Chains A and B, each alone.
Chain A
């Protein structure tokens, strides 16, 4: 490792706040790009599943 201790790695000779903020923003952007399509997909299946069930119920009621 380039740094001799973990504390030095965190401090980065005074540049720590800048460097770690950048990596935190990067992580946020990556997580946003992963979670947002997962939520979209889940939302689609919830809504469409509900519509499908309703259609089926209506068909059953018509048959009765």
Chain B
């Protein structure tokens, strides 16, 4: 007989909104400090101390915002789809709340990536926008985020809304490898990745170290904003629970 498979205990704890509320409350200050320090250090280093690029001049300093926001927008999408899948399979409330909260954050990150890309494109390429494979697939990512957000808001029943949004985000997952490989599959104007995990970066350390700080800082910031938003969502959906009523009374 096949041995029955059990998921680890923490996985089930994740399903408890109260547990999530408590643990995120304890983690929030740490991530906030890390995000603040890393983002300020990375921005000051990138703006004032890193040398200018020999081809792009000072406009290259935009990558310290553009690259982290673009990478994070894709991570945010993947998290939204995975959380949606967990909600579909295990009907986990917290996963649904996380997926719901990813959409508005993702919209803002995709807008930031596209806007900074366009502003960088003007002095570098001579155009705000070109219908290039990388740019177009990133624009589709923004539309997917908006679609998931709109679909969730359009359905009144919370459970049905969560399921529909999860299915849409899973279908849209196909766009993520398209964004990643667009610069290799098609002859695009957008440059290839500046650094990869497995290879040595093509930039000198005084240029890529601030970028690493900014990427890690953006991830910490994402953790902060996602936890804050999900905590507000936990309160809203659990407003009838005893522990939430106690919190309301205490406030």
Interface residues of A (CB under 8 A from B): 1-3, 9, 12-16, 18-19, 21-23, 25-26, 29-30, 32-34, 36-38, 40-41, 44-45, 48-49, 52
Q: Which residues of B contact A30 (CB under 8 A)?
A: 39, 221
Specify which of A3, A18, A45 lies most central, judged by the most chain B CB atoms within 10 Å of its CB: A18
Contacts beyond the supplied A19-B62, A41-B235: 11 A-B pairs with Cβ under 8 Å: A3-B48, A9-B47, A9-B48, A12-B58, A14-B58, A14-B123, A15-B61, A23-B47, A33-B108, A33-B229, A49-B251
- List the one stretch of B81-89, B109-117, B134-142, B147-155 in contact with chain A: B109-117
Interface Cβ pair total, 8 Å cutoff = 103
Given A22-B119, A49-B248, verify A41-B231 contact (CB < 8 Å).
yes
Contact (Cβ within 8 A) A12 B232:
no
Stretch at the interface among B49-57, B174-182, B191-199: B49-57
Kindly list chain B residues whose C-beta atoms are within 8 Å of the C-beta of A14.
57-58, 123
Are A22 and B47 within 8 A (Cβ)? no
Answer whether A40 and B47 are a contact pair too, CB < 8 Å, given A15-B59, A25-B115, A49-B248. no
Question: Number of B residues whose C-beta is below 8 Å from A?
Answer: 43
A19 touches B47 (CB 8 A): yes
- Report the Cα distance A22→B123, complex, angstroms: 13
A interface majority secondary structure: helix
Q: Mark out the residues of chain B between 61 and 119 whose CB falls within 8 Å of any chain A CB in the assembled complex.
A: 61-62, 65-66, 69, 104-105, 108-109, 111-112, 115-116, 119
Query: Are A2 and B116 closer than 8 Å at their CB atoms?
Result: no
Verify B248–A48 contact, CB threshold 8 A.
yes
Among A9, A37, A38, find the residue whose CB has the most chain B CB atoms closer than 10 A. Answer: A37
